[in-house]
Amino acid sequence: MITLELTDVEIDHCIKCGGIWLDAGELELLLGEPEKAKQLLDAFKLDSTSTEKPRKCPICYKKMRKIIVGPTKPALLIDKCRRGDGLWFDKGELEDIISRAELDKDNKIQKLLADMFGHDQKEEA
Ligand SMILES: [Zn+2]
């Protein structure tokens, strides 16, 4: 894992798999809009039906829980540490969650992520 600095937030990025680890509270910092961050976090639901293999938390090494984010389809599934150490995003999931947060158009985080990780922003077909 390497550490990247994104709008003053240090995020951990795995070069091998393209995943991103955010310590607790960093997602809120990245979003930069407390109201929207809260809405997004309130939309987290524990998923008990997922057949995705659980990941281990890079901090406490315990299996993380799958969290469904928001009502939007297709469901976005991320991993959350049981102790609350932080959140794990598979490749592309951080961009996905940020696009779902419906941030203001002049919020730079989406573009920064796209530049940094080279994923194109999803356009409605
Ligand atoms: Zn943990």
The predicted-structure confidence for 18-48, as pLDDT tens digits, reads as follows 999 999 999 999 998 889 899 889 989 999 8
Q: How far does the centroid of ligand 1 lie from the alpha carbon of residue 85, in Å?
A: 5
User: What is the C-alpha to C-alpha distance for residues 29 and 7, in angstroms, rounded to an integer?
Assistant: 9
Q: How far does the centroid of ligand 1 lie from the alpha carbon of residue 39, in Å?
A: 23
User: What is the C-alpha to C-alpha distance for residues 68 and 96, in angstroms, rounded to an integer?
Assistant: 12
* Higher pLDDT, residue 27 or 7: 27
User: What is the C-alpha to C-alpha distance for residues 125 and 116, in angstroms, rounded to an integer?
Assistant: 24
**Band of residue 68 on the pLDDT scale cut at 50, 70, 90:** very high
**Band of residue 85 on the pLDDT scale cut at 50, 70, 90:** very high
Positive or negative CA dihedral for 30, 36, 40, 42? positive
User: What is the C-alpha to C-alpha distance for residues 101 and 116, in angstroms, rounded to an integer?
Assistant: 19
Four-CA torsion 72, 77, 83, 87, nearest 10 degrees: -90
Q: How far does the centroid of ligand 1 lie from the alpha carbon of residue 106, in Å?
A: 33
Q: How far does the centroid of ligand 1 lie from the alpha carbon of residue 38, in Å?
A: 21
